[in-house]
Each structure stands twice: as structure tokens, then as C-alpha cells.
A = this chain, B = another copy of it.
């Protein structure tokens, strides 16, 4: 018997993984949640059939969404994570002793429950005493906050289904208001390669640009995401990630498998075709 998981990166491109067994399949009020076991990638989580993370390479995404802003401002104390139900982003944040409080607004409690049970690798630090886990809509939550966070991380699904509201002008405006003077917003920013993802990326970038004075994009190699070329948006009220005093981050002695200070700078060096797409208003 052969069992294969297949994701359509486009209607004409498929990526398939041989599966040993399915560990979990839940239909929550928001989405379908599946966790599989595979030889190549260990366990992996899909939402509505789309790849969210694998045990083999989740470190890349989670290190890059967390350590880039933390190195840009090591004085960050209060953090809001929007989404991120698998816990990987929180896990990386808890490695910073200087962080005092992590609020996490995840709309789907079933994702958290499934990951706690089947993905301890990512969910392990959700019980850190600094973590305040809120099962509610991040879009609504952030609306009521003002001048409260040093960092907001939008660790969302793609901009269709439950993640849709997290790619709107209204949401980015609310994030701006919820951030303090030195505040930073980082969001998963889709991909520049396949047309549907490129459209999402351009739209997100245009909207963030309208809300924040500093607005940059950085990239990582994430082999299990469509095209493997994934982007993150870095927006702030003033802090420029390329002027970070990276020696301060190095002094913290945090061990990483992907991120390092050289790569911090390198990740912002985008290919010309991506720069063009980000400039294109269409």
C-alpha cells in the first residue's frame, strides 16, 4: 500500500509526500486540521489541506519570523502573536529572558489542542508562565489594544479562509495603534513565485506600506512551502532592521540552526524580480 499527501501549489503543479500514517483529522468550526507522520519530514500539519509545518524544517520559518525582529530590537518586552496555534513562534520567543509577556490570539482552539497532542516539538513552550493564550479572533483582539506591544507577529495561514482578515488594511492599522513607539510588525508575507501567491504578497505589501513608515521584506528558503522561496514583511514605526546592532543579539548566546547575523543582512537582499513585484502597484 502507498499513501501520499499531495498539495497543489497551482492547478498545474503538485508536491507529494509519502505518508506513513495519519495521526489526526479534525473539522473545527474554522478549518480542517490534519497531522501526518512521514519518513522524510517527520510529522507534518496541514490546515484545509495546505502545508503549515513539518518537523524537519519548521525551525526555518519559526527562527526567521522571531529572531529577525528580536535582533532588530533586543529590548522588546511585550509581544503579541496573532495565529501561531502550533506554538513554534512562541517556542522561539520564550528563549529570550528579556521578554516579559507573550499574548497569543489564536482563533482556533482545535489547532492548539491537536498540536499539543501530536506536535510537542513546536507546542512545547505554550505552558511558559509568560504566555497568555487567548482563543479568539486576532483581528478583533488587536482592535481594542493601544500602545501596548513592542512586537506583533502575524503567524497566519494564507489570505483565504480564517486568515483572510489578517491581510486587510483595517488589521494593519489596528496593529499600528496597538504598537508602542518602537514597535515592530512582522508577518508571513507569502511568496514571489507562483501567480496567486504573488498577488497576495503584493496586496499585503501595499497595505502595510500605507500604514507604516518603515516597510521591508526579507526571505528564507523553506523547502516544504510552495516554491520554497518564502517572504516575511518587516514594518515598524522607525526601527530599521538593517541598522540593527547585531552584536547585542550575539551576546544573548541563543543557538540557532538557520538564523545568524550575517544571514540577517543577507535575507533582506532580494532578487531583482521580487523587488519589481513589490514596487508594482497592480
Contacts and interface: CB of A to CB of B under 8 A. Distances in A.
Contact of A271 (B38, B257, B265): B257
A213 interface: no
A220 to B, nearest CB: 8
A29 to B, nearest CB: 33
Contacts of A193: 57, 223
B13 A40 contact: yes
A11 B39 CA distance: 10
Interface residues of A, number: 40
Contacts of A229: 221, 223, 228
B12 A15 contact: no
A263 interface: yes
B266 A221 contact: no
Nearest to A60: B271
Interface string A28-40: 0000000000111
A272 interface: yes
19 contacts: A11-B18, A12-B38, A12-B40, A13-B15, A15-B15, A15-B16, A40-B194, A60-B271, A193-B223, A221-B221, A223-B227, A256-B272, A258-B273, A259-B271, A259-B272, A260-B275, A262-B269, A263-B270, A266-B269
